[in-house]
Amino acid sequence: MTHTEFLALVTSIRDEQDKLLAEKGADYTQQSDDVLHNFKAVAEWTGLTPIQIWSVYFAKHILAIMSYVRYGDVKSESIEGRFRDAGNYLLLGEGLITPAEKPIGTYDCTYCNKKGVGYNVHYDARGRCKRRASKDYDSPDDAT
């Protein structure tokens, strides 16, 4: 594939990705103006963070792509559609980690049971409990 051919392909793919974002986004936002609503709503229901919810959805697309790599076929939609969806999920994931999307306020940590923690102080950039990852943490009862 020449450079020119590849750039034409990229343009075509990006046009299709934009179309998919608009079509599927309308279903996932439940009439909210927030394009990240789906991740936030499920995060609230489950006690996870929006980026953790995103990672599960993204993994689904990667697993389908890996199925194609391994078996040469996918059943439910085209492999091209899977690649385009995965690309869109990368954009949505980056949207979730922008400073404007980081939670403000205090939370009760579901990992170490510490109450009233500041999100950006207690959790790392991936939404993981910093205390649980530290070597000095023994058990939930040890939370201070």
The lowest-confidence range among 29-33, 98-102, 110-114 is 98-102
Cβ(119)–Cβ(103) under 8 Å? yes
Q: How far is the C-alpha of 23 from the C-alpha of 17, rounded, in Å?
A: 10
Q: Is the whole model's pTM more than 0.85, yes or no?
A: no
Rg, C-alpha atoms of the chain: 19
Render pLDDT for 108-120 as a digit per residue (tens, 0 to 9).
666 676 776 665 5
* Helix 3-28 vs helix 79-96: crossing angle, to nearest 10: 70
CB 50 within 8 A of CB 101: yes
pLDDT at 122 over 80: no
Q: Give me the helices (H) in 29-142, please.
A: 37-46, 50-71, 79-96, 119-122, 130-133
| Structure tokens belonging to residue 76 | 């439910």
Tell me which residue of 28, 30, 31, 10 sits closest to 89, measured CA to CA. 28
Residue 142: predicted pLDDT: 45
Give 125: exposed, middle or buried? Use CB within 10 Å, 0-12, 13-18, 19+. exposed
